[in-house]
Amino acid sequence: MYRFVLNRFISLVPTLLGISFLVFLMLYLVPGDPAQVMLGERANAESLAELRATMGLDQPFHVQFYRFFTGLLSGDLGRSIRTHEKITTEILQRFPATFELTMASMLLAMTVGISAGLWAAVHRGKIADLLSMVLATAGISMPVFWLALMLVLLLGVFLPLFPISGRLSTHIYFEPITYFYTLDALLQGDFEAFGDILWHLFLPALTLGTIPMAVIARMTRASLLEVLGEDYIRTAWAKGLSQRAVVLRHAVKNAFIPTLTVIALEFGYLLGGAIITETIFAWPGVGRWLFLAVQARDFRAVQGGVLLLATIFVLANLLADLLYAWLDPRIRYDKK
């Protein structure tokens, strides 16, 4: 097991190197001049040439990539063309909002999705199974932007039950510490702010978590039905164990391995897919920041944001691989 963990961490090195190279290459090939964006359309040739030299844009590709990569190793992604702030600082300020939204969406998706999948598998062929799968299919089919707009209209405008933008109401004074608002509110014992934060979090979390919820429900049902047909499950039934004991004690753990893979993948997708949700709900996270960076042709900010999301996606898959051995003792990662 330890050898597997070490090998997996070592394999991350070329993976992250490849990601950094591809991100830099794609944005290098995108047409446009960052110097022109910074100085405006009326800038003269001398000013443009001077700024390109300052930013290193007049250097060959390999020189620019070397500067980018060495800065990446030292934690310096450069400065934003749009705001002139350090990209690392801007990401650190906005990432807590995106991570908080992603975690809330994932918790909602896992809770409802796994429960619905278990319920459907146990009641296979009955109305509960049919209803769960119909709702799951509908959840997968709905585009995120359409669902967000419908929730805004229904629960934010026609029935104004939830706020439709921001992380906190303007009348509540709150001083963040870590910028993870829910954690900061609990640490400060400010339960009014905590409730208001959850109130603002509900609609975007529901929007972002609907598709993963449906995917997890379908995968859980399919995996559990396959496991319930195994010989050792029939043996458990023959011993006279209750349905609860057979399903929860013997079947769920083995059936959860494919579901865990889906959860890890969906977690990475949520961080990237939060761009649409954050933009619609004006959520001040990395997704909305990336959207504004693309609009302003802020190439350096886009590089930093995409690299961050790709790295998190790779780490989420690594975590899923490590959990496999805990769920299924038959998996031997330490084989030579």
Q: What are the tens digits of pLDDT across the range 22-39? A: 878 877 777 767 777 677
**pLDDT score of 224:** 85
Least confident of 34-43, 272-281, 325-334: 325-334
- Domain borders along the chain are 94-327
Radius of gyration of the chain (CA): 24
| Per-residue pLDDT tens digits for 63-101 | 888 887 887 777 777 777 777 788 888 888 888 898 899
Percent of the chain with pLDDT over 90: 7
Structure tokens at 326: 């805990």
Instruction: Check pLDDT > 80 for residue 208.
Output: yes
**Averaged over 275-302, what is the pLDDT?**
83
Reply yes or no on whether the pLDDT at 331 is more than 70: no
Tokens of 258: 């494919």
Whole-angstrom distance, CA of residue 31 vs CA of residue 81? 16
Structure tokens at 62: 């390999």
Distance CA 170, CA 209 (A): 26
CA 41, CA 161: separation in Å to the nearest integer? 46
pLDDT at 2: 66
Annotate 76-116 with three-state secondary structure. Answer: CCCECCCCCCEHHHHHHHHHHHHHHHHHHHHHHHHHHHHHH
* Amino acid 126: pLDDT: 86
Q: For residue 208, which of 99, 122, 80, 47 has the smallest C-alpha distance? A: 99
Per-residue pLDDT band at 108 (split at 50, 70, 90): very high
The DSSP code sequence of 233-251 is HHHHHHTT--HHIIIIIII
- Whether the model clears a pTM of 0.75, i.e. scores above it, the answer is yes
- Residue 336 pLDDT class (50, 70, 90 cuts): very low
Residue 12 has φ and ψ, to the nearest 5°, of -65, -30
pLDDT at 212 over 60: yes
Given a cut of 70, whether residue 284 has pLDDT beyond it is yes
Query: What tens digit of pLDDT does each residue of 52-63 get?
Result: 787 777 788 888
* 323 vs 332, residue with greater confidence: 323
Is pLDDT above 80 for 167? yes
Query: Given 3.90.1150.10, 1.10.10.10, 3.40.640.10, 1.10.3720.10, which CATH number is that of 94-327?
Result: 1.10.3720.10
Average pLDDT, integer, range 198-210: 91
* pLDDT on residue 205: 92
What integer is the mean pLDDT of 249-272?
77
pLDDT at 189 (0 to 100): 87
Mean pLDDT value of segment 189-197: 89
Q: For 6-19, what is each residue's pLDDT tens digit?
A: 777 777 778 878 88
Q: What is the mean pLDDT of the chain?
A: 81
CA atoms within 13 A of residue 82's CA, in its CB half-sphere: 16
The whole-number average pLDDT for the span 152-175 is: 87
Q: Which residues contact 227 (CB under 8 A, 6 or more apart)?
A: 233, 251, 254, 255
